[in-house]
Structure 1
Amino acid sequence: MAPRSIPPTERQAPESRWQHQAQLLLQDLSQSLRQWSLWTHLGWQDLLRQYRRSVFGPAWIAINMAIFTAAFGWIGSQLFNQNPKTYVPYFCLGNVFFGFLTTMFNEGCRTYVDAAAFLKQAAYPKFSFVFRVMWRSLLMLLHQLPLIVVVLWYGGNLGGALWLLWLAGLALTVLSATLVLAVLAALATRYRDVPMVVASVLQIAFFVTPVMWHASQLSSERAQLLTALNPLAVWLDLMRQPLLGAAPPTSTWLASGLVLGLLLVVCSFTYLIARRRINYWL
């Protein structure tokens, strides 16, 4: 008995399903970008709700960071035997930007869990809530801008800061971090242990990323190579070096572009599988 021939439509069914999911993913992203007023409003309301009935409101973010910077900046300059006017701006910028990334990743794990009330009632585009967390994190970073200006003035870097280059590095970093946020949001919705794992990894990452120390202080070439392969260190260089008056080297831009391409592939693959299942995982 001759085997039954498979019709062309059946042979192409798996491929067509992937194409259909890719079209839905692009449609979701397009709708999310068009509905920018939704996620900007939600992000702003999240920030207001967090500091409701507070005297200083979100200014507490900058106050806490200023106290910590002043305390550790004085001690760290002696520990690492560096001039405070050089070390304090370096440490402060590294701590501010590292905190910006860690806040985005930690809060990103709860992206869809916090948006369950919306997603269960209407067909909202998923990436609107990813952008909500990204926007909220940017608003919190904006509250650190006065502190950044003060430490740059203290270190004599205010006049030599490369602000346009900093904006370019910030944009590239935010784009990459948003992709990480999106992946963590989907994984944490399915596996509820992910937020604890991410929090633990980021705590360790603070000490292995050049936030309070320079990569040049490492004596081992292998340790310096590991630092160069650390995406957090690459993103810190993109945001910190221009404000200190130095353009990031070409290798840093190439590394960040490579990481961005890899994250784009991982994020696309994740959402081709998980996007339609997110509502069922809530």
Structure 2
Amino acid sequence: MAVTASSNAAWAGARKDLVAGWRSRELWAHLGWQDIRQRYRRSVLGPIWITISMAVTAVALGILYAGLFGNPLEEQLPYILVGFIVWAFISGCILEGADVFIKNEGLIKHLPAPISVHVYRLVWRQTLLFAHNLIVYAVMLFIWPQPLDWSSLLAFPAFALLALNGAWVALLFGMASSRFRDLNPIIGSVVQLMFFLTPIVWIYEDFLNSPNPAIAERARLAEINPFLHYIEMIRRPMLGEETVWRHWAVVLVLTLVGWAVTLWAMRRYRTRVPYWV
């Protein structure tokens, strides 16, 4: 009975942490905005540099890969641009999530707040960066209009689902990296590798529909890559392409599994984070 009561209390503590952290949204929303302002406080253009950097990189790669693959620039560049915007959010949640508790060591030890506050702050900061990068997307739509329709509104729930996944990833990786510091460089290397294995700069359908059966068969292996489904879930509506519900199904399953594992980890290790950092 005592073990059961202790287990129930641990589950309740994990849920309470998430709820209390969400209710502190005035705190983490302010801190997230201040993070961006602090980063660019001595810059004339401020956070607009985020947009400029994204645009320059995407245009350069768009021109390069359009020439390599023989695709029209107006097809290759929007594909890469939207892929870059989404990938910046995903990689930001993973890489900064691995450091989220370590970098907030002082606040965790001296501020009596739920640890989820720091994760919400991170996801909010990445959301603001995502919004800044959408300026490039708006310019792209002006130069190369896409066939957007009502189905393009699916980009909003797709991003909400993306942010929900970013939260559990940051919580899980943040706790794990607090305990095992060697995980940070490993996670960084894996994210860098996955950038090239995920169809961000190369168009997945071009390889899938290749007349060479060997290439087409290898392209199907990309379905094993979970990042493909996250990227395509939101990129397709943003480019006005037909919705592929398979991507949504995979992401929903990953969301449920990811949060189940994260809640289990929070139940066992949440209270140890202040000692690990």
Q: Please, what TM-score do these two structures have when normalized by structure 2?
A: 0.93
What is the correspondence of 1:109-188 to structure 2 with a 5 Å cutoff? Answer: 109-157=98-146, 159-160=148-149, 162-188=151-177
CA distance in 1, matches of 2:91, 2:260: 22
Question: 2:218, 2:9 → 1: CA distance?
Answer: 45
- d(CA) in 1 for partners of 2:221 and 2:172? 23
Superposed, 1:1-282 pairs within 5 Å as 12-157=1-146, 159-160=148-149, 162-216=151-205, 217-218=207-208, 219-220=214-215, 223-282=218-277
Greater gyration radius: 1
Q: Quick check: 2:147–2:241 contact (8 Å CA) kept in 1?
A: no
Residues 172-214 of structure 1: CA distance to partner in whole angstroms, max 9, x if unpaired?
A: 1111121111111111111111111111001100110000112
The residue identity in structure 1 corresponding to 2:51 is A
List per-residue Cα deviations over 1:126-153 (Å, max 9, x = no partner): 1011001000111111111110111223
Q: 1:166, 1:243 within 8 Å by CA — same for their partners in 2?
A: yes
In 1, Cα distance between equivalents of 2:111 and 2:145: 53
Q: 2 CA distance for matches of 1:152 and 1:15? A: 57
Q: Tell me how far 1:30 sits from its aligned partner.
A: 1.0
Kindly state the Cα deviation for residue 123 of structure 1 after the two structures are TM-superposed: 2.2
Q: Which secondary structure does the structure 1 equivalent of 2:241 belong to?
A: coil
Which runs of 5 or more structure 2 residues have no equivalent in the other structure? 209-213
Q: Per the alignment, do residues 122 and 156 of structure 1 end up closer, same or farther by CA in structure 2, a change over 3 Å counting?
A: closer
Q: How many residues align?
A: 271
Unaligned 5+ segments in structure 1 are 1-11
Question: Contact conserved, 1:104 with 1:181, CA < 8 A, in 2?
Answer: yes
Q: CA offsets, 1:6-62, max 9 Å, x none?
A: xxxxxx222221111000111111111111101101111111111111111111111
Percent identical:
28
* Residue 159 of structure 1, CA deviation: 4.8
What is the TM-score with the length of structure 1 in the denominator?
A: 0.91
Aligned-residue RMSD, C-alpha: 1.6
- Aligned partners of 1:147 and 1:124: how far apart in 2? 37
